[in-house]
Structure 1
Amino acid sequence: MPPRTAIPVGQTWFDVHKTHFSDVPVSADQHVSTTEFLAATEATITIFDLLGSPVFAPIKHDMAFNIERVRTRQIQTSHPSSTLQHLVKDELVTQNHSATMGLTWLIRGLDFLAHALRSDLTQNKDVPVTERYPKRELRESFRDSYKVTLSPYHTVVIRPIFRAAMSAAPRRKDLFIRLSGQGTDPGTTVKAMESWLTGLEVIVTILKGFLASDEVQACVPEGMQ
């Protein structure tokens, strides 16, 4: 079981984040701030350390790699990269696609996580997180989420690795224990997840729509679509 010492007594994994997705500035025209998005995403990928199996390491590594692709572009072109939409448009003009591809895969990964956790909260509504036999175990939510969010974009070589990770997901009650500091009320962790997840879903929806827009799709190679 992963150590819980990093989570203070009475708090949750969500409390140790300096930046939540709900903290990411979004302008009136739906532009998403790059710096805060990357900070929230970087905090998010630490959840894979709590899932208790080394098979999740490739997922975390892949997302960390794509965070750096976006950050590298931001550092190189700080002014036009203040929002993710500006960053992508500025990059595509140069016919470069590294950060755009990185953001595309980050959103797919975040969508996968959001879909899985939302499914758990919905399917197990009113089921205590300490329940040994919930209506639906976490691995089922992860499998279903993988099918609709990541699997369509993975090759036949990659899919077995990710499917193995889904099967290695911890039991629901164990994940909530790992998301909680010593002495934390389980109900507090559920509420914290709900709030965090709502913020994540807002950002994912905005950026999925942008990346799927004709303006972006007309400029990216077919393999990225």
Structure 2
Amino acid sequence: MAPYLETVKSFADVPITDAGVDTLAFLEAAQGVVGLFDLLGSAAFTPVQNDLKGNIAKVRARYDAAPEQSSTLELLVVNEKGEKKRTATEGLMWLLRGLSFTCKALQAAQANPTEELSAAFSKSYEATLKKFHNFVVKGIFSTSTRSLHLDPAGGPPVPADKLNEELNRWLTALDNIVKRLEDFYEKGGHNKGF
């Protein structure tokens, strides 16, 4: 996994200024999460990947339409606030939820390496996404995580300490960005209506 992490934008390298989280760098790092699911080798992640891709596309479309008003995620949301349809605001909110789910699961897997990966993802789902899903989605997710397995892509083994160091750096930065933006959404009432 470390070679993969070295090929994608790390959340630790996403610039954060007083104005907020850099939109393009964040989207690039989020795209890396989509590819990470390919490494896990399970069809259980197809719905998660599709959701992440769709929400990345919504935020990207807003950025492309108004780059100066969308240079940071916070500016993007604030500048979309007066519009009837806040597609990027909602897309970012769901993207953050999906990233939080992924982050919590991988942090749990890091903290307890003897636990099955499916258990880490199931617990993370309970803590992050379950409250937002209807009965049907909950059932689909529960069924898919039971079949989850790790299917490494091959190649030379990566020293565990290097893998853990890079993954922990990546996850810590992701967790900080998610918490920052969740707080921004809550304080600004940007999550209302979704």
Matches within 5 A, 1:6-155: 12-17=3-8, 19-28=9-18, 31-124=20-113, 134=114, 136-155=115-134
Shift of 1:51: 1.9
1:3 is matched with none
Cα deviations by residue, 1:104-159 (Å, 9 ceiling, x for unpaired): 110000000111111122233xxxxxxxxx2x221111111001101100111211
Confirm or deny that 1:160 pairs with 2:149.
no
CA contact (8 A) 2:21 2:74 kept: yes
CA distance in 2: counterparts of 1:57 and 1:98, whole angstroms: 22
Deviation at 1:91, TM superposition (A): 0.8
Structure 2 length-normalised TM: 0.92
Q: What is the deviation of 1:187? A: 2.8
Q: Secondary structure at the match of 1:50?
A: helix
Task: Give 1:165 shift.
Answer: 2.5
Greater share of helix residues, 1 or 2? Answer: 2
Q: CA RMSD in A?
A: 1.8
Deviation at 1:215, TM superposition (A): 3.7
What does residue 192 of structure 1 align with? 166
Q: CA deviation at 1:14?
A: 0.6
DSSP 3-state at the match of 1:96 = coil
Q: Contact 1:142–1:169 (CA<8 Å) still a contact in 2? A: no
What percentage of aligned pairs have identical amino acids?
32
Distance 2:97 2:31 in 1: 15
- Rounded to whole Å, the distance in 2 between the matches of 1:150 and 1:181 is 33
The amino acid of 2:12's aligned partner reads: S
User: Which structure has the larger Rg?
Assistant: 1
Contact 2:89 2:190 (C-alpha < 8 Å) held by counterparts: no
Aligned counterpart, 2:176: 202
Residue identity in the other structure for 1:137: E
8 Å Cα contact 1:114/1:200 also seen in 2: yes
SS of structure 2 residue aligned to 1:13: helix
Whether the 8 Å CA contact 1:21–1:200 is kept in 2: the answer is yes
Question: Which ranges in structure 1 are unaligned for 5 or more consecutive residues?
Answer: 1-6, 125-133
8 Å Cα contact 1:12/1:181 also seen in 2: no
- Aligned-pair distance for 1:160? 1.5
Give the distance between the partners of 1:202 and 1:208, measured in 2 at CA.
Answer: 10
Gapped runs of 5+ residues in structure 2?
none
CA distance in 1, matches of 2:131, 2:87: 21
The match for 1:129 is: none
